[in-house]
A = this chain, B = another copy of it.
């Protein structure tokens, strides 16, 4: 198998398994990779053969230790590049993902560690996602979704779960960016929309938006 093919499978298996906590179905993988289920079956058999995954016919797939290590390497490279593009090269957080999709395949530890070192080994990328360290260790946090916020509390924006350009641009427009401090004024009973203040400006967001924003109580 081509190395880039392997990497794309492992990365997506990792994400779809919610950081390795559950097995992944062929269907979900096929959707994510935008290919047919037939192709997924074929590829998984080969990845099993290569000992990157344990593929149990008609049941599901999970990463082996080796597969997890590979996946974490890809995730690290992706997020280090996203952070470098945003922090050091002036790209917006809605632009970095696409470029990082390509840069993540360039395997050179010296390069990635140098970029990380220049930035002081950041633990989170521009979307608030954790960056595995050189050994693959991920800093875990106890963040919650903004949709679970309580009235009168204050929160700090720590990340997003939707990385689409449309969503990120929407957030930027309302200054709902990483680090922003939010005060919850009202939560509408009817549709769970939230009225909050951010940078002294009042903002009304739908539950759909709130579900996609990760915050920390302050």
A interface residues, Cβ below 8 angstroms from B: 85, 89-91, 95, 99, 102-103, 105-106, 108, 110-111, 114-115, 118
Contacts and interface: CB of A to CB of B under 8 A. Distances in A.
A7 to B, nearest CB: 13
Q: Report whether over half of chain A's contact residues are helix, strand or loop; otherwise say mixed.
A: helix
7 contacts: A89-B111, A89-B114, A89-B115, A89-B118, A99-B106, A103-B103, A103-B106
A102 B103 CA distance: 9
Number of copies: 2
A114 B95 CA distance: 14
A154 B161 CA distance: 62
A21 B18 CA distance: 56
A102 B106 contact: yes
Contacts of A91: 110-111
A110 B89 CA distance: 10
A105 B101 CA distance: 13
A89 B116 CA distance: 11
A106 B101 CA distance: 10
